[in-house]
A and B are shown apart, each in its own frame.
Chain A
């Protein structure tokens, strides 16, 4: 029973092959001092990269010949939801360095909640701010994790 190869699987297997090649290249550029020539820092990476290359080639072959073993057809991707979540992550990255954790996290909270179908951004902003502020206080003051400076963080 052979069907047409699925583009996603071929792409995933292709990326794995590319990763394996990348790590072979990175292994090749590790400088080796002659003292360690036999059991040096490159031996293990060689084995691991070669292993990944072999496995990913088999996966690629499977993908081209009808699909990964035991993986059925995929549900269509809900691009709208995914875009909102991605926007949230981007907002977090963009604002955390300048505005600080609490603001960045609140912005992300609103976007992600929207992506999962919430229709009340105002309420989410409030919940997000409370969650961010409590976890900031909990981690920063209680556990001593430094979550960085920011506008609100400077005031507290």
Chain B
């Protein structure tokens, strides 16, 4: 009941004309960047961070949330028509979606993706609405030791679950943690890792690192391998309306996808790749015509797309209730909280109730907007997809310049961004995941703070992390996650071998 009152208050905030406009702008921009290969929501939110100096927090977060959700919708368009997934979460969509498009059923594929995203996104937002206050209740009882252990889970999860190799994932995580150390230590005032340069005293700007790792690195990486084939965009074909049979084959995968996606996003072992894989294999298993999979089965688009959107909403749960980001976009949103001077964590629901509930209400609004925006405007999105590569990437670098140079008009910032871009290019080339670096950099200082508080409370006794039961449980989970992917892969391999 209390939750419903709060949500009603949230809608009062979200439905004001200004906020509707921000939500619309976010959804529109988000879909556009989701459609464009090479740029995604993380980069866009990073570029929009300066807006935090201009508009109130609520408006900025409604905009960011729109970008975040919109990119999820837009990403599926690219996967289906181009077979080049814009986001890692839509890799699976490409499997069946591209096959449908090749068989002249691009329309139904896009429609089931959009409607499924809406259904699952709404279900997941409802789940977020009602579970978040419960998580907050629990979270308020956690001390610094538990918090630190929880962050360890998040670190391990993003490094081991998302990437191809746990070793390389952890390596980039530690790189990120060290980047987060740069600057003046908040507790003692000691400069750390500054190499005696004033520019580094405030730490390295998140925008610069994020834009360097995404925009510059992507461009350089593509430039190194330019001669290796162009993508072909399939024409929009088939009716955008789902036939009776398509509906019948889609609705169950939507619901199942939502149920798989939300929990995966919500536990700090987040990420939306794994649930899309799970949903795909589940639909294949449950299908009456499994032989259609690989040939354009609509269930293979409906399920994973729903799972992907539900997971995206799920990721917001640890972000808003615990201050724990488990995706890059969430991490950058967290740094936006910091730039408003708002301490992320369970107290948000108490101290910033209007902001939080306005944001949650705007997620419902955004989902509806995206459904309305997506299908009728599909022609526009396809045209965006046709921007030729040379101009697209040249333009991306122009925006990247604004992101770095706009901070303090310093050429050093620009050079740091390009250096980060070169590092990112090498990371892409040798298959190091990028997400752990960004999350490590943003969450690292918070983890250090919790770590030091916990040790101060325990008077320097290290065993505090394992003797406090909840903290010990969290650390055990983290350990399991680090070893989990190897086990998981073994299971999948034996399944494939027997199938």
Taking beta carbons and an 8 Å cutoff, which residues of A are in contact with B? 8-9, 12, 16, 19, 23, 26-27, 30-33, 36, 38-41, 43-45, 48-49, 51-52, 55-56, 58-59, 62, 68-71, 74-75, 77-78, 81-82, 84-86, 88-89, 92-93, 96-97, 101, 104-105, 108-110, 112-118, 124, 127-128, 131-132, 135, 139, 143-148
Q: Are A8 and B430 in contact (CB under 8 A)?
A: yes
| 18 cross-chain CB contacts under 8 A | A12-B430, A31-B190, A41-B187, A44-B448, A45-B181, A58-B167, A81-B226, A89-B397, A89-B418, A92-B397, A96-B414, A101-B405, A108-B401, A109-B394, A112-B219, A124-B390, A124-B391, A146-B406
Smallest CB gap from A33: residue in B: B188
Smallest CB gap from A138: residue in B: B402
Q: Are A70 and B165 in contact (CB under 8 A)?
A: yes
Cα–Cα distance between A97 and B216 once the two chains are bound (Å) = 20
Cα–Cα distance between A113 and B398 once the two chains are bound (Å) = 12
Smallest CB gap from B432: residue in A: A12
Q: Are B411 and A93 in contact (CB under 8 A)?
A: yes
Q: Are B219 and A48 in contact (CB under 8 A)?
A: no
Query: Would you call B371 an interface residue if the criterion is a C-beta within 8 Å of the partner chain's C-beta atoms?
Result: no
| Tally of chain B residues near chain A (CB < 8 A) | 63
Query: Would you call B103 an interface residue if the criterion is a C-beta within 8 Å of the partner chain's C-beta atoms?
Result: no
Smallest CB gap from A89: residue in B: B418
Q: Are A39 and B452 in contact (CB under 8 A)?
A: yes
What residues of chain B lie closer than 8 Å to A62, measured between beta carbons? 167
Q: Are B192 and A30 in contact (CB under 8 A)?
A: yes
Cα–Cα distance between A117 and B393 once the two chains are bound (Å) = 11
**What are the 6 closest A-B residue pairs judged by CB atoms, nearest first?**
A116-B390, A118-B390, A113-B390, A112-B394, A145-B406, A52-B174
Query: Would you call B409 an interface residue if the criterion is a C-beta within 8 Å of the partner chain's C-beta atoms?
Result: yes
Q: Are A26 and B192 in contact (CB under 8 A)?
A: yes
Do A112 and B397 contact each other (CB < 8 Å), given the known contacts A85-B220, A118-B390? yes
Contact of A135 among B170, B195, B225, B402 (CB under 8 A): B402
What residues of chain B lie closer than 8 Å to A88, measured between beta carbons? 394, 397
Q: How far is the CB of A152 from chain B (nearest CB, A)?
A: 14
Q: Are A23 and B227 in contact (CB under 8 A)?
A: no
Q: Are B226 and A92 in contact (CB under 8 A)?
A: no
Cα–Cα distance between A1 and B442 once the two chains are bound (Å) = 40
Query: Would you call B139 an interface residue if the criterion is a C-beta within 8 Å of the partner chain's C-beta atoms?
Result: no
Residue-by-residue, is B291-308 near A (CB-CB < 8 Å gives 1, otherwise 0)? 000000000000000000
Contact of A38 among B187, B395, B451, B455 (CB under 8 A): B455
Query: Would you call B426 an interface residue if the criterion is a C-beta within 8 Å of the partner chain's C-beta atoms?
Result: yes
What residues of chain B lie closer than 8 Å to A145, measured between beta carbons? 50, 402, 406
Query: Would you call B224 an interface residue if the criterion is a C-beta within 8 Å of the partner chain's C-beta atoms?
Result: yes
Q: Are A52 and B225 in contact (CB under 8 A)?
A: no
Do A51 and B402 contact each other (CB < 8 Å), given the known contacts A26-B195, A44-B452, A117-B226? no
Q: Are B401 and A112 in contact (CB under 8 A)?
A: no
Contact of B51 among A12, A56, A70, A143 (CB under 8 A): A143
Smallest CB gap from A85: residue in B: B223
Q: Are A48 and B226 in contact (CB under 8 A)?
A: no
What residues of chain B lie closer than 8 Å to A78, measured between beta carbons? 223-227
Q: Are B171 and A117 in contact (CB under 8 A)?
A: no
Residue-by-residue, is B376-394 near A (CB-CB < 8 Å gives 1, otherwise 0)? 0000000000001111011
What residues of chain A lie closer than 8 Å to B54, measured between beta carbons? 143-144
Query: Would you call B251 an interface residue if the criterion is a C-beta within 8 Å of the partner chain's C-beta atoms?
Result: no
Contact of B171 among A16, A26, A39 (CB under 8 A): A16
Q: Are B50 and A144 in contact (CB under 8 A)?
A: yes
Cα–Cα distance between A139 and B405 once the two chains are bound (Å) = 12
Smallest CB gap from B174: residue in A: A52
Contact of A49 among B164, B178, B190 (CB under 8 A): B178
Contact of A116 among B185, B394, B398, B456 (CB under 8 A): B394
Q: Report B187-243 residues with CB < 8 Å from chain A CB.
A: 187-188, 190-193, 195, 216, 219-220, 222-228
Q: Are B401 and A143 in contact (CB under 8 A)?
A: no
Smallest CB gap from A114: residue in B: B390
Q: Are A75 and B225 in contact (CB under 8 A)?
A: yes
What residues of chain B lie closer than 8 Å to A8, measured between beta carbons? 429-430
What residues of chain B lie closer than 8 Å to A86, measured between beta carbons? 220
Smallest CB gap from B187: residue in A: A41
What residues of chain B lie closer than 8 Å to A19, measured between beta carbons? 175, 178
Q: How far is the CB of A85 from chain B (nearest CB, A)?
A: 4
Q: How far is the CB of B298 from chain A (nearest CB, A)?
A: 32
Q: Are A112 and B390 in contact (CB under 8 A)?
A: yes
Among A75, A97, A139, max chain B CB count under 10 A is at: A139
Q: Report B315-366 residues with CB < 8 Å from chain A CB.
A: none
Cα–Cα distance between A9 and B225 once the two chains are bound (Å) = 17
Q: How far is the CB of B25 from chain A (nearest CB, A)?
A: 11
What residues of chain A lie closer than 8 Å to B460, measured between beta carbons? 38-39
Q: Are B452 and A43 in contact (CB under 8 A)?
A: yes
Q: Are B174 and A55 in contact (CB under 8 A)?
A: yes
Do A116 and B167 contact each other (CB < 8 Å), given the known contacts A38-B455, A145-B50? no
